[in-house]
Chain A
Amino acid sequence: MNQKKNEISALSLLREERMPHIWCPGCGLGTVLNAFLNALIKSELPLEKMAVVSGIGCTGRTAGYVKLDSFHTTHGRAIPFATGLKLANPELNVVVVSGDGDLASIGGNHLIHAARRNMDITIICVNNFNYGMTGGQVAPTTPLTARTSTSPYGCSEPPFSLPSLVAAAGGAYVARWTAMHVRQMTKAFVEAMLKPGFSFVEVISPCPTQYGRKNQQATGLAQMNYYRDNSVIKHGADPQDVSIEFNGTITVGKFVDIERPTFSDLREEIVGAKFNPESKA
């Protein structure tokens, strides 16, 4: 990464007084944050109209590190909070940055309904296959047979494949990358933020302290090597075909990029007819 100009700019969007961050050595979240800030600069969206909303967990701390209007909310509720924010002030560009447990387990209902509505918000979902902050418990994304502190004999439940879930629910933009794919991830963030409607980027990210340690990938490097050796780029892949098996292939790429009327488009079309323009004055 020799993009010195961008690095300096990304740094200026970081709340330096909050450093050091809480993330472990080898964690992928710093990489994701850096990619997000660079994407924000590349998108040329006005910074004062950006809002970052996070839930709870390691990824949930992202909101606290960005020099933007930012909200660290309750576990699983970042999306409905973001929904209220966007509807009350449609000028805002609202990005939810949160983890797989937060968004797909406790917040799973909100995730699918926001996708169904095609709410005009962007979701960055960092998936590390487990609950890192609380000590590495099984998640709805943990691959079958993977070990975690609450699946000590191996996970016996099949996981959600998040791109498939969000695509089925109606997401207008769905992509997946890993923390190793920095340039592609950054580009996906830009596209997602500029996409009208519900955009969703999953980033598979190392958690060596919790997930990796229990699954023979005890360092960030080991997990990155796994991503490098097993990622297959397939743009336009059918989201139903991108499930991740334990230590198996990770299909990455842009899977969905469709035009679909957003929540606001439809509301204006259907309900808007009842607006009386005079009353808005």
Chain B
Amino acid sequence: MSSNGPLTGEFFMNGDIACAEGGISAGCRFFAGYPITPATEVAERMAERLPEIGGTFIQMEDEIASMAAILGGSWGGAKSMTSTSGPGFSLMMENLGLGAMLETPCVLVNVQRAGPSTGLPTAPQQGDMMQARWGSHGLYPMIALAPCSPQEIFDLTIKAFNLSEKYRTPVLVMADESVGHMSEKVVIPPPEEIELVSRKKPTAPPGEYIPYKPDDDLVPPMGLTGEGYYFHVTGLTHDERGYPDMSADAQERLIRRLINKIELNKNDIIEVEEDQIEGADVVVCSYGISARVALLAIKSAREEGIKVGMLRLVTVWPFPDQRIREVATKIKAFVVPELNNGQIALEVERCAGGAAETVLVGHMGGAVHDPQVILEAIRKAAK
């Protein structure tokens, strides 16, 4: 395997490798990571590929350092990325919060495995979906995308970079072991056909640049280190100058804006895939590998004459509240298969608000669902 830039063409590759190639196609030129099953191949691919294209790979001493290093890399001007799995994801939570607070574009890939603790390192789970939203302390916005195939992890890694650059915030790619280790055809378009977004640069000259003064979209332009802006950034609550301000007013202003820059731009961020929702009695709402496994159950149910639709969450966070509310008024029930004991199902139930029933098809992980179990749930819900 040798290439001097982003690949173009059709390839047979696993999800982890497709993820790394997605990063490269998105312009990622700095990767810091730490070995962990089942995400290691992302780092291995980056270790091989980045030197070929003038990028930098470093294996750090742990995941805490990896997350800190990609924040530094981003402030140094490189599109930056790391990858990990559950145990490392927990360690990255600390600096994920710093990334949100400093408004640092970067991408963190979690190839989820079964937990808690060391759990099942080589088997899938979707047990980190709530941690993805709330895992760091305090209040902050989060964007998380859930790929269901090697092709999609390639596409969504690019999308994750674009969103992180556009909104100046860390973005999570929430894959899982089965997607990471599944090998399939991946089509990589020529670079000129891939739309890339880069962070807004300051228009004000260095002396007049106010680091955290937002534009109308609530996102402040980002000056880079070494360009003469002499900015200060801090994980403390800060004013528009970036200086610490320990007042409740400053907290309200800053955190409200951080949350609103995602909330008010939800329509731009949220992507869902829908199929035959119009006229459905039951809608299977799922994401990642579980949504893919559910396709077989949906097909079988339709063959039995059940009117069943599909709503796949490509963006899991921010949660597509509004769309779930709309659909809930038209159907009997949501069936929510996920490889946990009910995380996203809680969100679906909250948004359904009693207008439709929410049926969790839980699974403790270690394998994917048996489609028959999902089919049974669809049958029951349709009655």
Chain A residues in the interface with B (C-beta under 8 A): 15, 17-18, 47-49, 51, 53, 63-64, 67-74, 76-77, 79-89, 91-92, 109-110, 113, 271-272, 274-276, 278-280
CB within 8 Å for A84 and B76 given contacts A64-B243, A109-B61, A276-B4 = yes
A contact residues around B61 at 8 Å (CB): 80, 109-110, 113
Question: Per-position contact with A for B204-225: 1 when CB-CB < 8 Å, else 0?
Answer: 0000000000000000000011
Chain B residues in the interface with A (C-beta under 8 A): 4-5, 29-30, 32, 51-54, 56, 58, 60-62, 64-66, 68-78, 80, 94-95, 97-98, 102, 224-236, 243-244
Closest 9 CB pairs of A and B: A84-B72, A88-B76, A84-B69, A80-B65, A72-B234, A80-B68, A279-B4, A85-B72, A84-B73
Report the minimum CB–CB distance from A33 to chain B (whole Å). Answer: 14
Taken together as a complex, chains A and B put the C-alpha atoms of A15 and B231 apart, in Å, by 11
A contact residues around B230 at 8 Å (CB): 47-48, 67-69
Is B76 a contact of A89 with CB atoms below 8 Å? yes
A contact residues around B32 at 8 Å (CB): 80, 83-84
B contact residues around A88 at 8 Å (CB): 29-30, 56, 72-78, 80
Is B64 a contact of A63 with CB atoms below 8 Å? no
A contact residues around B77 at 8 Å (CB): 88-89
Given contacts A85-B76, A88-B56, 18 further A-B contacts (CB under 8 A): A51-B226, A63-B234, A64-B234, A69-B231, A77-B94, A79-B65, A84-B72, A87-B30, A87-B73, A88-B30, A88-B72, A88-B75, A110-B65, A113-B61, A271-B51, A272-B51, A274-B51, A276-B52
Which of these, A63, A109, A279, contacts B54 with CB under 8 Å?
A279
A contact residues around B243 at 8 Å (CB): 17-18, 64
* B101 closest partner in A (C-beta): A74
Which of these, A91, A109, A274, A278, contacts B226 with CB under 8 Å?
A91
Taken together as a complex, chains A and B put the C-alpha atoms of A169 and B56 apart, in Å, by 23
* B243 closest partner in A (C-beta): A18
B contact residues around A82 at 8 Å (CB): 72
Is B75 a contact of A279 with CB atoms below 8 Å? no
Is B54 a contact of A280 with CB atoms below 8 Å? yes
25 contacting pairs across A/B (C-beta < 8 A): A51-B225, A53-B72, A64-B232, A69-B225, A69-B226, A71-B72, A73-B95, A74-B95, A77-B94, A79-B65, A80-B32, A80-B60, A80-B66, A80-B72, A81-B71, A82-B72, A84-B72, A84-B75, A86-B76, A87-B72, A88-B80, A91-B226, A110-B68, A272-B51, A279-B5
Most A CB contacts (10 A, CB to CB) among B71, B72, B80, B228 go to B72
CB within 8 Å for A92 and B98 given contacts A77-B65, A84-B30, A84-B68 = no
CB within 8 Å for A73 and B232 given contacts A85-B76, A86-B76, A89-B76 = no
Taken together as a complex, chains A and B put the C-alpha atoms of A48 and B236 apart, in Å, by 24
Is B72 a contact of A81 with CB atoms below 8 Å? yes
Taken together as a complex, chains A and B put the C-alpha atoms of A68 and B226 apart, in Å, by 9
Is A64 a contact of B69 with CB atoms below 8 Å? no
Report the minimum CB–CB distance from A230 to chain B (whole Å). Answer: 36
Is B68 a contact of A74 with CB atoms below 8 Å? yes
B contact residues around A15 at 8 Å (CB): 232
Is B53 a contact of A279 with CB atoms below 8 Å? yes
B contact residues around A84 at 8 Å (CB): 30, 32, 68-76, 80
A contact residues around B227 at 8 Å (CB): 48
B contact residues around A280 at 8 Å (CB): 54
CB within 8 Å for A83 and B72 given contacts A64-B244, A73-B98 = yes
Taken together as a complex, chains A and B put the C-alpha atoms of A110 and B91 apart, in Å, by 14
Is B64 a contact of A77 with CB atoms below 8 Å? yes
A contact residues around B98 at 8 Å (CB): 73-74, 77
Is A63 a contact of B232 with CB atoms below 8 Å? yes
Taken together as a complex, chains A and B put the C-alpha atoms of A108 and B210 apart, in Å, by 35
